[in-house]
A and B are shown apart, each in its own frame.
Chain A
């Protein structure tokens, strides 16, 4: 499909930068527009990575939850998907990601500071560190120049 999502985002940014920005007056409006432009640029570069990221995170989170459950720690919900997820359905992947991370968020405080679950806590932290490193979106705000 043309224009692709990335092409559309890039085109919108081009319009803002070259048509709208030159006529914008006032520091606040100009800086706000610059922030929008930077965010669009980030989305151009990263939007395509969201689906693969969610597939990876769902797989890894599910594996960790299975490890936790196998040690007799109670979870708030079933780990298995409620309904099959069609490959490439980003909305469904996102909803499943939120569901799995909800289970993880509920259980992880119970793993902290207990010798018998120290390794599980470490595994969760290691995964979340990796998830942060792979997270597709980025903040685009900036501090003033030094």
Chain B
């Protein structure tokens, strides 16, 4: 225990894990420690040890619990369904160990996952810790994994049972969703956002197909082991949508420090490799639309933080992310 705030979580967790295992198995948990990473979920790391008959078992685990206030409103049962489906694929995704869907045991909806080896490196592509050729190879792994997500057989995995299929209207579906979130969290009129919304509404492109979309694909949501991508994290915003949505997210100029290597791995190279790997065409106007939507989504997430902060549900200070509007206006050419 590191402080009194963590004690209830540790006690709840011990009871919950014990309830998942045979009685009298000698369960022991290491002290539960809350990580400072993550804006949408509480992350608590711990190890568990017990006896399976006479065989000692040790597991490295992480509890991801819904916080009191979050910048994202998502459903845990959907995330868990996606993760369990991905276990049957080659996509490197977290494995679910136990699930407290309603938060009956852990206070709020929670997922316990296996804690995999690896390091979260936001700037693994641009940091000069690794030589350039290694970083380029790593960048290829990231885009190839994103392409694998976009080409997964989601029907075969049964994901249409939990994820609505927007067909060729992924753009309108995404815009409807994020406008709904904007209306939900808005605490003051924002003409800046209304301008962007009207622009997006009047230009929503039609999709080539509906694919599995990660929704927040970036090195900051991945684990790197050695010089390789080991795990794609944070599937809570996964949904079915336009193939260009994730591509628009990673080619968003705002995020280029995370996704690009100056001169050798920029928008052109990313788009070409992704298109070659997925077989989907990339219409520049449609990709631009998704770049604007990516920033609109970031702005709504920031405004969600503002609303939660005002309502005293958020323990990080937030201010209106208005600077994103200028970036969107530049992209829109207004």
Q: Is the CB of A105 within 8 A of B190?
A: yes
A139 to B301, CA, bound (A): 13
Interface members, chain A 15-32 (any B CB < 8 Å): 25-32
Interface members, chain A 61-117 (any B CB < 8 Å): 98, 101-102, 104-106, 108-109, 112-113
Q: Is the CB of A27 within 8 A of B35?
A: yes
Interface residues of B, dominant DSSP: loop
Interface residues on A, range: 35 or more
B241 within 8 A of A: no
On chain B, the residues within 8 Å of A146 by CB distance are 122-123, 126-127, 257
On chain A, the residues within 8 Å of B5 by CB distance are 29
Q: Is the CB of B3 within 8 A of A112?
A: no
A143 within 8 A of B: yes
A124 within 8 A of B: yes
A87 to B194, CA, bound (A): 30
Q: Is the CB of B302 within 8 A of A128?
A: no
Q: Is the CB of A105 within 8 A of B189?
A: yes
On chain B, the residues within 8 Å of A139 by CB distance are 302, 318-319, 321, 323
Q: Which of B86-94, B101-109, B195-203, B287-295 contacts A (4 or more CB under 8 A)?
A: B195-203
B193 vs chain A, min Cβ distance (A): 8
B192 within 8 A of A: yes
Interface contact tally, CB-CB below 8 A? 101
A35 within 8 A of B: yes
Residue on B nearest A112 in the bound complex, by CB:
B198
On chain A, the residues within 8 Å of B302 by CB distance are 139
A41 vs chain B, min Cβ distance (A): 11
B279 within 8 A of A: no
A125 within 8 A of B: yes
A48 to B234, CA, bound (A): 40
A39 to B318, CA, bound (A): 9
Contact of B3 among A25, A113, A140, A141 (CB under 8 A): A25
Q: Is the CB of B34 within 8 A of A26?
A: yes
Interface members, chain A 27-51 (any B CB < 8 Å): 27-32, 35-36, 38-39
**With A26-B6, A26-B34 in contact, is A32–B194 under 8 Å at CB?**
no
A129 to B327, CA, bound (A): 10
A52 vs chain B, min Cβ distance (A): 18
B33 within 8 A of A: yes
B54 within 8 A of A: no
Interface members, chain B 297-326 (any A CB < 8 Å): 302, 315-323, 325-326
Contact of B190 among A101, A112, A122, A138 (CB under 8 A): A101
On chain A, the residues within 8 Å of B320 by CB distance are 135, 137
A125 to B36, CA, bound (A): 38
Contact of A132 among B2, B35, B127, B323 (CB under 8 A): B323
B23 within 8 A of A: no
Contact of B198 among A109, A133, A141 (CB under 8 A): A109
Q: Is the CB of B2 within 8 A of A125?
A: no
A13 within 8 A of B: no
Could you say which of B316, B317, B321 has the most chain A C-beta atoms within 10 Å of its C-beta? Answer: B317
A108 to B191, CA, bound (A): 7
A105-B189, A109-B194 are known; give 9 further A-B pairs, CB within 8 A.
Answer: A35-B316, A108-B195, A109-B198, A131-B322, A132-B192, A132-B323, A141-B316, A146-B126, A146-B127
Binding site for A on B (CB under 8 A): 2-3, 5-6, 33-36, 122-123, 126-127, 188-192, 194-195, 197-199, 202, 220, 257, 302, 315-323, 325-326, 329, 334
Q: Which 9 A-B pairs have the closest CB atoms?
A: A39-B317, A146-B123, A31-B36, A105-B189, A109-B198, A102-B189, A105-B191, A28-B34, A27-B36
